[in-house]
Amino acid sequence: MTSLSTKSVPPQSPEGYSGLELLAAPRSKARKWKVFHVITKLELGGAQKVTLMTLERLPLESYRLGLVTGPGGLLTERAESIPELDIFRIPSLSRNIHPVKDARAFLDLYRLFRRERPDIVHTHSSKAGILGRWAAKLSGVKIIYHTAHGFGFNEDQSPLRKHFFVWLERCTKKITTQFVVVSRSNERTAQSHRMLKMNEAILCRDAISIEEFLAPGPRGQKKSSWGVPNGKTVVGMVACLKPQKCPADFVDVAARILHTRNDVHFVMAGDGELRSEVEDRIRHHGIETHISLLGWQRDMPEVYRNLDIVVLTSLWEGLPCVFSEAMASQLPIVATNVDGAAEAIVDRETGYLHERHDIEGIARSVDILLSDIGLRKTMGEKGRAAVMEFDINTAVSNLEKSYRAFTRALNS
């Protein structure tokens, strides 16, 4: 069953504009196009935040907006606060593969699209992308978008499992009107697996509201409540505690650094299925007093104002918002060189990039930054100077131009 909360709808925006101008400019009266975005769950992740920021910025004069999602999630309240947004909840829509629940989710999506008749269905991430696109196609939706925030297949899977997911993506690409990537690396990955041809995708970064992170504020206000002793430099990882982010590697990096120095404290902002494994790893290393697990955090600019160095140990990515958030917050980044990382981080200029599971190398780079305040400052300044590419208004402008091109064609 689907559940629906509805809000009413005013007007807003024409061609020839870009960025905020495009989203705010007046338009002649025309019918509103019904656009539904589909995402698995409103957890506190980059894809979810970008989806909601997009829905907040699309011009209401041109679109009637809907959000289709599974139950629960820390961003539910934010979604419900978006003006004029219809929210449809699919109880059986979840991230993990479950044939019976997945079949039920597909039927619920199909029935929803048949009843509501959206003009555009825009899916996000792997599970919602497969189920949502096929349900949209079979229910008669004319325009189908998909944003790949990374892919459901990776090198750590068995060959059979990986080939199955690649095959699913290839088949589903055939019914996709427009494919959207958040990094050029993901585009190359899709091309190498024959999911995309050259120049078929449009680039809409997993972006942030940069103005929120540029706003000035006092630094270090949260350290005492986080359990950070006075005078300690703070190294933080901001991520969901799930296999993709490999949080145990961050704990191993912390243990290696703490073996040789005691002027540093580590924090992990986020939560998830691997929390108990992370806690076990911390106890194994005996570093309980040197690392704080903060759980989910909502005020991200405030989180970054309490960090000195940002680390991310992901095994695969699209292009995580953590990079642009850290850059806007003028912080150096040490990360694994996976997928779109090198499109945000310039190695040895705005941070350091390492291979996956390179505990020694990551620890060495963090150690360099811990010992050199001037280098931290220089890298942070260079990162901030390059961050405007990752502003959400640029991403929404690119997407909205594409919507307009296809709706014009549908109208003619």
Q: 47 in a domain, yes or no? A: yes
> Cα(190)–Cα(148) distance, rounded to whole angstroms?
10
pLDDT confidence of residue 31? 79
- Identify the band that residue 2 occupies on the pLDDT scale cut at 50, 70 and 90: very low
pLDDT confidence of residue 11? 31
Residue 302: how many CB atoms within 10 A of its CB?
14
Residues 144 and 96 both lie in one domain: yes
Question: Rounded to the nearest 5°, which phi and psi values hold at 126?
Answer: -70, -55
> Mean of the pLDDT values across residues 387-407?
92
Write the CATH number for 134: 3.40.50.2000
> Cα(256)–Cα(362) distance, rounded to whole angstroms?
10
Averaged pLDDT score across all residues of the chain: 90
pLDDT confidence of residue 29? 56
In 3-state terms, what secondary structure has residue 266?
strand
> Mean of the pLDDT values across residues 299-307?
96
Per-residue pLDDT for 243 more than 60? yes
Q: Which of 157-171, 270-284, 303-317 is predicted least confidently?
A: 157-171
> Cα(155)–Cα(100) distance, rounded to whole angstroms?
27
Q: Tell which wins on pLDDT, 79 or 317.
A: 79
Contact 208, 390 (CB under 8 A): yes
Three state DSSP letters for 296-357: CCCCHHHHHCCCCEEEECCCCCCCCHHHHHHHHCCCCEEEECCCCHHHHCCECCCEEEECCC
Residues 150 and 220 both lie in one domain: no
Token output for 93: 């829509």
> Mean of the pLDDT values across residues 213-240?
94
Q: 412 in a domain, yes or no? A: no
How many CA within 13 A on the CB side of residue 90? 31
Taking only the tens place, the pLDDT of each residue in 321-372 is 899 999 999 999 999 999 889 999 999 999 999 999 999 999 999 999 999 9
Per-residue pLDDT for 8 more than 70? no
Token output for 278: 């992370």
Per-residue pLDDT for 19 more than 70? no
Contact 323, 185 (CB under 8 A): no
Q: Is 51 exposed, middle or buried (0-12, 13-18, 19+ CB in 10 A)?
A: buried
Q: Tell which wins on pLDDT, 22 or 85.
A: 85
Count of domains observed in the chain? 2
- Identify the band that residue 7 occupies on the pLDDT scale cut at 50, 70 and 90: very low
Contact 234, 306 (CB under 8 A): yes
Looking up tokens 């909360």 gives 5
> Cα(280)–Cα(288) distance, rounded to whole angstroms?
10
User: Where do the DSSP E strands lie in 101-153?
Assistant: 120-124, 143-148
First to last CA, the chain: 36
Residues 290 and 380 both lie in one domain: yes
Residues 284 and 350 both lie in one domain: yes
Per-residue pLDDT for 198 more than 50? yes
pLDDT confidence of residue 23? 41
Per-residue pLDDT for 17 more than 50? no
Residues 103 and 88 both lie in one domain: yes
Bridge partners, residue 333, by sequence: 310, 351
Q: Which residues contact 250 (CB under 8 A, 6 or more apart)?
A: 237, 266, 268, 311, 313
- Identify the band that residue 1 occupies on the pLDDT scale cut at 50, 70 and 90: very low
- Identify the band that residue 158 occupies on the pLDDT scale cut at 50, 70 and 90: confident
> Mean of the pLDDT values across residues 17-37?
60
Sequential DSSP letters for 44-109:
SSHHHHHHHHHHHHS-TTTEEEEEEE-S--TTHHHHHTSTTEEEEE-TT--SS--HHHHHHHHHHH
> Mean of the pLDDT values across residues 84-112?
93
Residues 366 and 402 both lie in one domain: no
Residues 321 and 371 both lie in one domain: yes
Contact 342, 266 (CB under 8 A): no
Residues 79 and 186 both lie in one domain: yes
Residues 353 and 329 both lie in one domain: yes
Q: 256 in a domain, yes or no? A: yes
> Cα(131)–Cα(145) distance, rounded to whole angstroms?
13
Share of the chain above pLDDT 90, in %: 75
Looking up tokens 């991403």 gives 395
Residues 218 and 333 both lie in one domain: yes
pLDDT confidence of residue 408? 85
Residue 104: how many CB atoms within 10 A of its CB?
16
Residues 275 and 320 both lie in one domain: yes
Residue 20 per-residue DSSP state: H
- Identify the band that residue 87 occupies on the pLDDT scale cut at 50, 70 and 90: very high
How many CA within 13 A on the CB side of residue 353? 16
- Identify the band that residue 97 occupies on the pLDDT scale cut at 50, 70 and 90: confident
Residues 176 and 232 both lie in one domain: no
Looking up tokens 């349900």 gives 135
pLDDT confidence of residue 74? 87
Pairing type for strands 33-39 and 120-124 reads parallel
Domain that holds residue 323: 211-389
